[in-house]
Structure 1
Amino acid sequence: MIRPFKLGYANLATKDTKAMEDYYTNVMGLTLVETGDDGIRYLSTGLDHHNIILTPNLESNLQVLGFQLGNQYSLHDVKIRLKQQGISTQLKSDAQPGLPELLEFEDPDGFLVHLYTSMETPAPHFKENGIVPNKLGHLALGSMDPKKSVAFYREVLNFHYTDRIGERANFITCNSDHHVLNICNLGQFVGRPVMYHIAFELRDASHQYQSLDFLAKNNIPTLWGPTRHTAGHNIAAYHHDPEGNLVELYIDMDQLLPEVGYFDPRPWHEELPLKARHWEDNAAWGTGYENTLYEFALQKYKK
């Protein structure tokens, strides 16, 4: 069985790579580890060679999702197993800095998926300026066919299903976090697959408050939050990066216990034990604003 254990990196196509580099280094507090001859920037949250890749492009969108497999896997064997499932892959060596080997294929929406087992760890460590998140936590994908995409990640990479919101969003994970991917129907409204948002985990509530203060000092308004979600129960706040991408800063996400099929109990859970369910809304505190976030995303991609 093939299952990654973490979302390792996201490769973002960027129209203004310099502005995005400034945002990720000086606002988000990541470290610029390397710049390629082609202008691609590789940035790290602290340990891995990179967790964010900025690739110059004429359009702004997500290009690649990188997932790390445990070292018990052989990418050659994974390639064979995926071929048996009818999935065409390419095994690449030294295709990007810090990665000696990766396996590349497409998901149903055409996003590139990279699987890898090891990445260089130059350990730039966590910076002392900027927001400085714990990690890249999850991605929200605007799919053309969410059911098909969810089935792909569940059947091919053995993601666990965790929750659903209306007919809009589906949550799946490859580890204990409530979701590593949120696959929603935004692509159907835009007319093509897009990234809805990218999310970073913070340490605690004080870190979240400090981060929102830091955004305000840098003239970056908070669009929604902090608010507690229903699906995942994470306390989330959203803002725009320089290219209009929605960026979520969150804490306190539900933790899945797959052995028993429910989430690690918390006092604020509506049901005990809390299992995967169908939610009508995504604002446990009644701050129903997510439709406006959809509107922001529609404005970005329909330009």
Structure 2
Amino acid sequence: MNQPIANLRKVRSVELRTTAAADSADFYENVWGLSTVERGEEGAWLRGTGEEHHVLQLTAADQNGLGRITFAVSTPADVDEAARRLAERDIPIVAGPGPTGEIAAGYGVSFVDLEGRVVQLLADAYAVAAMHRADAVPVGVTHIVLNTVDIDAAVAFYTDVLGMRVSDWSEHQMAFLRCNSDHHSIAFNQAGWTAINHVAYEMPSVDHFMRGIGRLRHHGVLPMWGPGRHGPGDNTFSYFADPGGLVCEYTSGIAQVEEDRWLCRVWRRVPELSDTWGTAGPPSAEVRSHMAGVPDDGAFAHRPDLRELAHR
């Protein structure tokens, strides 16, 4: 039996391809509450109040999509071992292992999953001092939800290859996967095409969460769905659309998993469990449309040869 390629510590950052890079960079800095690390014509890198060099990379593109998900691993030796295990499994490596030469530096390896998403494992990246801000701004990215055409295959890949654990199911529509004590870092949603569904940003408390929603209202940005509290994960939620139409979420209070005591359950998809507060109502057609995204072949769009390699 193959071992997982690495021990993932957490999500470091997410790269989003966007048709509105400049406007989105303004939004995430001036409205959403992130701080710009660097910005240029091709995009921007933004941090939260945590210690990650950046948590969001925006890259200018002709079509919205997922650029890359970066997970933290402990050491360069872990990266080299992950690359060796990827090669043993014939999983296509698109960069590394080695020094990345990127803005956050570090030592990494990047590969593609079954649907063309690029996943990076990164060690020794630059860290920054945590910011102790009193205003209601995000700590960083806490989870990413991905639309998949085959939820069983996606879950199998991320559990078998990446060693993630399934915390819960929402019937056979969504699966919530963890890599640490947080209930989920990645979730998959069964859909008609592969796409980014949304990115969630952690707020330090429910008070910060609500005050953040208030700040967005002050800027004329209203929630598409929320505020409420989900059943699976027990986290608060409020979903918004950025200028490019990608969905971003404020959340807080994610359930913490004790590995030897947690029991995975299958939640029914009913309004009282999708929002246990009963404040948000069912998701609107608008938020469902935004979360559906557009068909995204990821790395396969530029490297058709990778599709065949990924499915050998």
What TM-score do the two structures reach when normalised by structure 2?
0.84
Partner in structure 2 of residue 295 of structure 1: 289
How far is the alpha carbon of 1:72 from its aligned partner?
7.4
The equivalent residue for 1:276 is: 264
Residue 225 of structure 1: how far off its partner (Å): 1.6
**Percent of pairs with identical residues:** 25
Matching residue within 28, 44, 52 for 1:41:
44
Q: Which residue of 1 aligns with 2:244?
A: 243
Mapping of 1:1-303 within 5 angstroms?
1=4, 2-35=6-39, 39-46=42-49, 47-71=51-75, 73-89=77-93, 90-91=95-96, 92-123=98-129, 125=131, 131-186=136-191, 188=192, 191=193, 193-260=194-261, 262=262, 275-281=263-269, 282-286=274-278, 287-290=280-283, 292=285, 293-298=287-292, 300-301=293-294
Distance 1:126 1:142, change over 3 A: farther
The alpha-carbon deviation at position 107 of structure 1 amounts to 1.1
* Post-superposition CA distance 1:98-133 (Å, at most 9, x none): 12321010111111000011211243735666x421
Where does structure 2 lack aligned partners over 5 or more consecutive residues?
Answer: 296-312
Deviations 1:192-233 (A, max 9, x none): x11111101111121112111111111111122221111111
- Name the aligned partner's letter for residue 40 of structure 1: G
Question: Counterpart of 2:125 in 1: which secondary structure?
Answer: coil
Deviation at 1:291, TM superposition (A): 6.1
Q: Secondary structure at the match of 2:227?
A: strand
Secondary structure at the counterpart of residue 221 of structure 1: coil
Partner AA of 1:178 in structure 2: H
| Partner Cα distance (1:128, 1:233) in 2 | 24
Structure 1 residues 171 and 291: alpha-carbon distance in aligned structure 2, compared to 1, 3 A threshold: farther
Q: Is the 8 A contact 1:31 1:124 kept in 2?
A: no
Determine the C-alpha separation between the residues in 2 that align with 1:15 and 1:158.
33
Deviates more, 1:41-50 or 1:149-158: 41-50
TM-score by length of 1: 0.87
Rounded Cα–Cα distance in structure 2 between residues aligned with 1:154 and 1:10 = 20
> How far is the alpha carbon of 1:288 from its aligned partner?
4.5
Task: Give the Cα separation in 2 of the matches to 1:126 and 1:52.
Answer: 19
Between the aligned partners of 1:161 and 1:86, the Cα distance in structure 2 is 24
Provide the secondary structure at the position in 2 that maps to 1:149. helix
The structure whose RCO (Cα within 8 Å, separation 6+) is larger is: 2
User: What's the offset of the Cα at 1:3?
Assistant: 2.0
Distance in 2 separating the partners of 1:100 and 1:204? 31
For residue 73 of structure 1, report the CA deviation from its aligned partner.
4.0
- 1:234-285, Cα deviation, whole Å (9 max, x unpaired): 111111111111211111111111133x1xxxxxxxxxxxx21111122223
Q: Distance in 2 between matches of 1:126 and 1:42?
A: 20
Runs of at least 5 residues in structure 1 that lack an aligned partner in the other structure: 263-274
Name the CA distance, whole Å, in 1 between partners of 2:100 and 2:147: 30
Partner SS state of residue 21, structure 1: helix
SS at match of 1:285: coil
Take 1:58 and 1:128, find their aligned partners in 2: how far apart are those partners? Answer: 37
Distance 2:166 2:291 in 1: 25
For residues 136 and 237 of structure 1, do their structure 2 counterparts lie closer, same or farther at Cα, with a shift above 3 Å needed? same
